[in-house]
A and B are shown apart, each in its own frame.
Chain A
């Protein structure tokens, strides 16, 4: 009861609400601007929140996380461009609906079902976080913790990589970066080359802002070309009628189930959940032929599924210390700076945080929903903001945010160097996720492997290494081997990361539906058709 009261009490501070409003605004903006991902925004905001109390900081970061999940649907529906990767599946039916003159309806339904998905997943977090953490605390010793880290990195590699070898290399690079600095057990210095700033290792925030923020920005600078794409401006009717709401039921249930399940898998995010949810809902729909042509069911399934990952992702992050997605990897870095280490002991030592986090997520969802239902018309204009303003603003805030973490300009240089490395790796299809995870979890893996190897000679193998550890290690191997086999079976031209291959069987039908749609007369006076090269 005390934990409940303490957790709620922390939210009653008016400053928390103010920070949530800041997060709400930032989240919506980053969601609405294609190219700025929630990971980038959270990495950026990490610099701003360094000096805040943990609950205040969580209020900003979690609200950005939630609000970006609403804002990113706007460009998906109006411009056929996902605001963040989590809304990729929204384009499948959201954009066709907009082309049919039902953009307002698509935006409203998307906001409503996203809110339902997030709230359902928060129930899971509230109910499961403490039991999962308690289980992990009781049964996870050094071998299990090492296996868990290996499993987390392996899943990230399996999910995010087009080439497993490049993914493995990325994970190893991250682990290598994690060895820079002073070795805690013996105080020996490793790879510091006499540089004072490297004694404590690489500044995690500088690395993630470099890899996720600067690298993404540089990639946009490299590939940007003038475009005449205009958002669809004829929004039509806003509120769904009873029959339309009834259509969403089945897809809502499927999407929520898929989203919660995918969210619990470390490293799997909203992009994968959205695509799987859309594909599953299509399979059980009475009108599968309408999917990809502006189906309310399709839109509902994709948006509910991608939104419902938030709670699961939060659960694995906070209760096990293994990031549920790339956003959560960044969040862990910020929490460590505040003196909170996510993992099995977090909720046992601070059960009030479960209540605070649940409260923040619920309030953030309701605020985002409210803002979604009133701000749509204004958001359309935001899509016209010239890129130079965005790019220069992002860059300067990345620099200042990174500097604020250490008050040292060497950190800014670290960020810039990792930005350049990040864009080079991106151009080589090497995913940044495993690097960040390796850097973050490397010291934990080393410490627990070291303890395990020290105990092993003294006791029987199965007494030291439990079935949990063996299962986790087997799952880790499968996480890399299965996608590799799946890719190897495909023609070379069709190989890709997991998110790229979920709709392999449906992609031809969706493309055909799009062609049919393009052939029809437009309901919108400013359809998005041409792009000036």
Chain B
């Protein structure tokens, strides 16, 4: 029985050109530009534009037309020409997409908790922002691979304190 050894992945190599990706992008761009153009034709005009002015639909229709034209050209090029190289980009690493997805999820959770503003517990009004921020940073550090317990606790506490003093107390922004 022979063992197939997979070829090592060169993490420094740029991503490979992809026709599928280029076509998908062009199709999405075309769909969005068509939607924009269609919505432009439906802009509700409450009154005629005053003399020396154009109505609210004119400029969006111009842009929609240019956008559709550019997207169609992009789609045609994506279909008939070889896909462009992607040397200017770095390859997506294993776990990279997960890091981004978890970051987005944790951030949405943080914003949701922050929006509650404060809770009343045991007769005291407790502002959630400092606790939410410290926990948020702790989770981010954990997701990004930090395993140093001092860093995981001290850094979020220090940054949260700095933000609270600077924004909440000095700049008087209602956090």
Contact = CB atoms under 8 A, between A and B. Distances in A.
A-B complex is real:
yes
A163 B73 CA distance: 12
Interface in B53-97: 53-56, 58-60, 63-64, 66-67, 70-71, 73-74, 77, 81-82, 84-93, 96-97
Interface stretch (A54-62, A98-106, A221-229, A372-380): A221-229
State which size class the interface on A falls in: 35 or more
Nearest to B46: A188
A400 B167 contact: yes
A222 B133 CA distance: 23
B6 interface: no
Contacts of A397: 163
Nearest to A531: B12
A221 B67 contact: no
B86 A429 contact: yes
Contacts of B53: 185-186, 450-451, 454
Interface in B130-175: 133, 136-137, 140-141, 144-146, 151, 155-156, 159, 163, 166-167, 171, 173-175
B46 A409 contact: no
Interface of A: 48, 51, 162-163, 165-166, 168-169, 172-173, 175-176, 179, 183, 185-191, 218-219, 221-225, 386-389, 391-393, 395-397, 399-400, 403-404, 407, 409, 412-413, 416, 420, 423, 426-429, 446, 449-451, 453-455, 492-493, 495-497, 500, 531, 533
A403 B173 contact: yes
Contacts of B114: 409
13 contacts: A169-B29, A169-B71, A176-B64, A183-B56, A185-B56, A188-B43, A189-B43, A392-B156, A399-B111, A416-B107, A450-B58, A497-B88, A531-B12
B101 to A, nearest CB: 10
A428 B21 contact: yes
A532 B18 CA distance: 27
B118 interface: no
Main secondary structure of the interface of A (DSSP, over half): helix
Contacts of A497: 88
Contacts, number: 188
Interface residues of B, number: 80
Contact of A190 (B60, B88, B100): B60
A190 B103 CA distance: 32
B162 to A, nearest CB: 10
Given A179-B59, A222-B99, A449-B59, A191 B85 contact: no
Given A176-B67, A533-B10, 9 more contacts: A163-B84, A175-B63, A190-B43, A395-B107, A429-B88, A429-B89, A451-B52, A495-B85, A531-B12
Contact of B54 (A224, A400, A450, A496): A450
A196 to B, nearest CB: 16
B51 interface: yes
A393 B67 contact: no
A517 to B, nearest CB: 19
Interface of B: 8-12, 21-22, 25, 29, 33, 36, 39, 43-47, 49-56, 58-60, 63-64, 66-67, 70-71, 73-74, 77, 81-82, 84-93, 96-97, 99-100, 103-104, 107-108, 110-111, 114-115, 133, 136-137, 140-141, 144-146, 151, 155-156, 159, 163, 166-167, 171, 173-175
A172 B100 CA distance: 28
Contacts of A225: 11, 93
A428 B18 CA distance: 10
A168 B29 CA distance: 12
B115 to A, nearest CB: 5
Contact of A416 (B60, B104, B163): B104
Contact of B144 (A163, A169, A187, A387): A387
A395 B140 contact: yes
Nearest to B65: A172
Given A185-B50, A186-B47, A388 B100 contact: no
Nearest to A497: B88
Nearest to A187: B46
Contacts of B90: 219, 223
B70 A493 contact: no
A172 B63 contact: yes
Nearest to A189: B44
